[in-house]
Structure 1
Amino acid sequence: FSMSGIAPIAIRQGVRIARPMLACSRDAISAWAHDNHIAWREDHTNMDARFMRNRVRSELLPQIEHYGAHVRRSIARGAEILRSDAEYLDALAARQLDSCLCSSQKAPEVLLIERECFNASAEALRRHMIKVLASRLQVSVGYDGILRMMAFMRNAAAGKQLDFGGGAMAYVDKTHLHVTPPGYNPGLSAHITVPMTIPGETRFTGCRFNTQVLAPEECSLKTVVERCDNNCQYFDLDGIMNPVLIRTRRPGDRMRPLGMTGHKKIQDIMSEHGVPRYLRDRIPLVVVGDEILWLAGYRRGIGAMLTERSKRILEIRLDDEHQ
């Protein structure tokens, strides 16, 4: 979408393209070849009027030169100025994009961009940031595609997705844009179920669960309320009659969320929380029998609730595997 497309050296889908004589006129090159006894060879397609570049060269430029011989030089000079400006903006955009990037703990191959950081950048810089992003993913995105991505980053509701082009996909949650590279495969082709170690540590799809069993004097109900968050939950261990398992979601999964009456589909809960679709098969569920106790990192169920009579308190903490 910028004059960087006519740069002397450009990168196109990982291929380095050099045009060392781009700044030289045809007459200058022809004269140099003649003086150095180099035979001139003409590409026969240069005269084919079906191509716009040839119509511009053979029809439009001669008409423009009626307004002065300097016009062609002025156009070339303007193109060079725009090209150098575009190079500067691309370098600036690359640094700004890097400042908005953060690591994806659940899927390291996915690019994670802070929406607030991106949207706070100047509009011209945002266009070039998307251009740099496309270059890193080795996909081709035109001007309209860049505008679509800018609007998507600014306005899309959590859980929405956009085809970025070339097989790359973009997803948004409330705070981040997730961009999967072309051909991305989350790597989970089957349902996974593992028993939870109590007490101890259990690793599962890029995360780990740390558990411990506490006595009431070690952890009062008030303390539980203060400590509970998306990554830490407490359960009445004596209210759990079957082994505690960690598994991925299955078709038709439902849970009884805390604070609600009745059941709700896991898919709907994930959608409400803006979990990108490519991640949904990686989100762990803590289950006992047929009951889902916790959609880990997002929503607790009503099973195995603590009471004043609870004797053994099960603490489950969710951490990134690399922490």
Structure 2
Amino acid sequence: MKGLFFAMQSFLTQVSEFIRSHRLIKPGQRILIAVSGGKDSMALLHALIYLRKAWSLSLCVVHIHHGIRDEEADRDERFVMDSARVFNLPFYSIRVDVPCVARETGCSLEETARNLRRAAIMGILHRIGFDLVALGHQADDQSETILLHLMRGSGIRGLGGMTPMRGCFIRPLLFVLRQEIDAFVADTGIPYREDSSNQDRRFLRNRLRLDILPSIRDAFGNTVTHRINRAGQAAGEVDTYIRAETEDAWEHVAIRETSREITLEIDSFLSYFKIIQKSMAALAIEKLTGFSSFLTTEGYERVLRLAEKGKSGAQVLLDQKARVIRSGGNLVFMTSIPALKEYRVGKNSEIRIPELGLTLRVTESDPGIPEDLKRHDRYTEYADDDKIKVPITVRSCRAGDSFIPLGMKGRKKIHDFFIDEKIPIYRRRVVPLLCSGKDIVWVGGYRMDDRFKVTAWTKRVLKIELLHDPLSG
């Protein structure tokens, strides 16, 4: 019995020391624990409960139901809820439809689950005002991650694997082998759930864990996990230095940043060593999408070739998340925006245009000419209300589209207007055209049609606004 006690105490002491040495937690912090119900997350839950009093921690449990395993997932959810109740911990469960989102986005189930899980957890963290999110990744997960990135052709950043702490996410068990967690759970009688999807060899990570890694251990011994992870740690240390250098370079290279688009000046970009160029490309992707690990060595090389030799208008598609376009002397990193759909809106109403991160608002004014008519910006326009038919449609340009630009007498093709306004090719398909029937009223953000302008004979004015949508980030 004493041996069992000391084994348990040794495990928990090691966890405590790992937390302390990596400064993962400060006394008094509030920690949201992500618990799936499996061995790793249940070991994490019990370890943090053990440390709760000594560190004056406030704990809360969150569980993500992925909508994949039906009744089995429902039972996992109830199990985690009951486990939280045993320790009188607040419990939150979030349901996401991974298969549906994966079909809509074209991403894999694994990637979709990871992205939705992270977003859901961050939503809960902000809602309840906690400080940290504790994740149950352990040493074998780390070696799997490093090998996956290696086989996918990742650069230094991906080979660094997971870090003990990144932002508000902490991994207190990252040093612990899977077999050590198995022993701790067995010795202490901690209940847990088995996830049947972990045996599904359709998932690459499962094939790696079930088939490839055992062969590697047979060839190189059981300590190979720690050796892989030490190599990953070394890569991570190099990446930390490169990141610091990249932040300094970024100040001289980035000339425009929005939530959907980042522009880098090519001459400045090319003046740095290639490793910094690649790191800047990764940082741009990370800023836009939240992730950079999907950018492979081949992807980096394509971006660098675009900067060195690409023609204006040439582009590189990076997975389904982002693209890089050469526009004159600039590299433009963009989130992949779907083609603009057609929307309809009535007067005195509004509609979201999620592809653009904008909301279109249409408002009839009181009779007469509004005082602010001459003070509006490019995203606000005024038209003669009586000349506008409803519904107003919003769409992208089509072949043969033309209008009469404000101040002109004759028609001009939209294609020629885009050229004259120096609108880059990659932006043209998402410029919103507001139409009344078959006529274009306003090239959103640029020019309205002369036929719909407000005149001295206008009885009522229609105010049209394109507003930034706070839901788009």
Q: Same fold (TM over 0.5)?
A: yes
CA distance in 2, matches of 1:197, 1:318: 15
User: Which letter does structure 2 place at the counterpart of 1:201?
Assistant: E
1:303 aligns with 2:456: no
Among 83, 92, 115, the residue aligned to 2:245 = 92
1:103 aligns with 2:251: no
1:146 CA drift (Å): 6.0
Paired residues of 2:368 and 2:461 also in contact (CA < 8 A): no
**Partner of residue 250, structure 1:** 398
1:178 aligns with 2:320: no
User: Which letter does structure 2 place at the counterpart of 1:93?
Assistant: T
**Partner of residue 213, structure 1:** 364
Paired residues of 1:254 and 1:264 also in contact (CA < 8 A): yes
Structure of larger gyration radius: 1
Among 375, 380, 398, the residue aligned to 1:226 = 375
**Partner of residue 434, structure 2:** 286
**Partner of residue 274, structure 1:** 423
Paired residues of 1:213 and 1:314 also in contact (CA < 8 A): yes
Paired residues of 1:212 and 1:315 also in contact (CA < 8 A): yes
**Partner of residue 314, structure 2:** 161
CA distance in 1, matches of 2:452, 2:446: 17
Aligned CA distance change for structure 1 residues 234 and 87 (closer, same or farther; 3 Å) = same
CA distance in 1, matches of 2:401, 2:362: 24
TM-score, with normalisation over the residues of structure 1? 0.55
CA distance in 2, matches of 1:300, 1:265: 13
Paired residues of 2:281 and 2:300 also in contact (CA < 8 A): no
1:212 CA drift (Å): 2.0
1:123 CA drift (Å): 1.7
Paired residues of 2:262 and 2:334 also in contact (CA < 8 A): no
State the SS of the aligned residue for 1:115. Answer: strand
**Partner of residue 201, structure 1:** 350
**Partner of residue 140, structure 1:** 297
1:161 CA drift (Å): 2.7
**For residues 107-146 of structure 1, what are the structure 2 equivalents within 5 Å?**
112-115=261-264, 123-124=271-272, 128-133=276-281, 136-141=293-298
State the SS of the aligned residue for 2:441. Answer: strand
Structure 1 vs Structure 2: percent identity of aligned residues? 23
Q: Larger deviation: 309-318 or 168-177?
A: 168-177
The Cα offsets for residues 243-282 of structure 1, whole Å up to 9 and x where unpaired, read as 42222333322222223343233234334442442x5443
1:199 CA drift (Å): 1.3
CA distance in 2, matches of 1:174, 1:199: 41
**For residues 65-80 of structure 1, what are the structure 2 equivalents within 5 Å?**
none
**For residues 302-321 of structure 1, what are the structure 2 equivalents within 5 Å?**
302-321=450-469
The Cα offsets for residues 95-129 of structure 1, whole Å up to 9 and x where unpaired, read as 65499473345xxxxxx22335x765782168613
User: Which letter does structure 2 place at the counterpart of 1:179?
Assistant: F
Paired residues of 1:140 and 1:166 also in contact (CA < 8 A): no
Paired residues of 1:199 and 1:210 also in contact (CA < 8 A): yes
CA distance in 2, matches of 1:214, 1:322: 25
- Number of matched pairs: 233
Q: Which runs of 5 or more residues in structure 1 are unaligned?
A: 1-8, 19-40, 42-83, 106-111
State the SS of the aligned residue for 1:238. Answer: helix
Among 150, 159, 162, the residue aligned to 1:16 = 159
TM-score, with normalisation over the residues of structure 2? 0.40
Aligned CA distance change for structure 1 residues 249 and 317 (closer, same or farther; 3 Å) = same
Aligned CA distance change for structure 1 residues 94 and 255 (closer, same or farther; 3 Å) = same
CA distance in 1, matches of 2:444, 2:239: 45
User: Which letter does structure 2 place at the counterpart of 1:140?
Assistant: T
More helix by share: 2
Aligned CA distance change for structure 1 residues 281 and 164 (closer, same or farther; 3 Å) = closer
**Partner of residue 47, structure 1:** none
1:165 CA drift (Å): 7.3
CA distance in 2, matches of 1:253, 1:187: 20
CA distance in 2, matches of 1:176, 1:266: 25
State the SS of the aligned residue for 1:287. Answer: strand
The Cα offsets for residues 11-69 of structure 1, whole Å up to 9 and x where unpaired, read as 64456389xxxxxxxxxxxxxxxxxxxxxx9xxxxxxxxxxxxxxxxxxxxxxxxxxxx
User: Which letter does structure 2 place at the counterpart of 1:290?
Assistant: K
CA RMSD of aligned residues (A): 4.3
Aligned CA distance change for structure 1 residues 241 and 210 (closer, same or farther; 3 Å) = closer
1:219 CA drift (Å): 1.3
